[in-house]
Structure formats: C-alpha cells, structure tokens
Structure 1
C-alpha cells in the first residue's frame, strides 16, 4: 500500500504533518509516529514493513507499534488517502 500522491498535498512543519485531500477538500493533522508512517507510505510498503521501521526508529514494543500502525492505516483508508 502507498499514499495516493496524485490528489493529496502534504507538508510537515515542526513535527506535525498537514494533509489536504484535494478531491474532498478535507484537512488532516498528523503528529507523532503517524507523521513517520505517513512519510514511509510515499513508497509501497506492507504493514509488517511499517511496523519494522517504527520498531527500528522508536522506543516502543512490537504489540504497541503494530496496533498503532494498523489503526493509523485504517484511518488513512477511511479517508481514502491510500492507493
């Protein structure tokens, strides 16, 4: 899975990622680990790859990382931000 880059605009400022879904004109503010997952999704990645990256970069246990990544990815899907 990866982001639908053709119809979203995103900027990261001070650790917060602001995303505009152009077709729906919806804004999203993403912070914390979500900002990093959002960046990682600029390339095609599986949930397992995302979890591994988060485990490598943050001091978090695997269960928490997996739960947070899966929840975030589900929200991106609901917002129709994934290809």
Structure 2
C-alpha cells in the first residue's frame, strides 16, 4: 500500500503533516509517528515493513505498533488517501 500521491498535496512542518485531498477537497492533519508513517507510505510498503520501521525507530513493541499502525491505515483508507 502507499499514499495516493497523484491526488493529494501534503506539506510537513516539524512533526506535523497537513494533507489536502484534491479529489474531496478535505484537509487532514497528521502528527507524531503518523507523520513518519505517512513519509514511509510514499513508497509501496507492507504492514510488516511499516511495523519493522517504526519499532526500529521508536521505543514501542511490535504488537502495539501493529495495532496502532492498523488503526492509522484504517483512517487513511476511510479518507481515501491510500492505494
């Protein structure tokens, strides 16, 4: 999965990313670890890839990371921001 780069515009300032969906004209704000996940999703990534990256960069166990990442991905899907 990856971010639908062709129909979004995004800017990151510090640890906050502002995303505009060009197809729906809705704005989204992503903060904290979500900003890092959004960066990782610029390329096609599996859930396991994302969990591995986050557990290596942050002090979080794999089960918690997986659960939180799945919830984050669900919100991105609901907002139609993922392929």
TM range (shorter): over 0.9
- Structure 2 residue runs of 5 or longer lacking an equivalent are none
Q: Which residue of 2 aligns with 1:47?
A: 47
What is the correspondence of 1:28-47 to structure 2 with a 5 Å cutoff? Answer: 28-47=28-47
TM-score by length of 1: 0.97
Deviation at 1:26, TM superposition (A): 0.5
Post-superposition offset of 1:62 = 1.1
Aligned length: 83
Which contiguous aligned blocks of 4+ residues in structure 1 show a shift greater than 2 angstroms? Answer: none
Superposed CA RMSD in Å reads 0.6
> What corresponds to 1:12 in structure 2?
12
Gaps of 5+ in 1: none
Residue in 2 that maps onto 1:57: 57
Distance in structure 2 (CA, Å) of the matches to 1:81 and 1:30 = 12
CA distance in 2, matches of 1:10, 1:81: 11
CA offsets per residue over residues 34-65 of structure 1, 9 Å max, x none?
A: 11010000000001100000001001111111
The alignment partner of 1:28 has SS state of strand
Instruction: Report the TM-score, using the length of structure 2 for normalisation.
Output: 0.97
- The alignment partner of 1:6 has SS state of helix
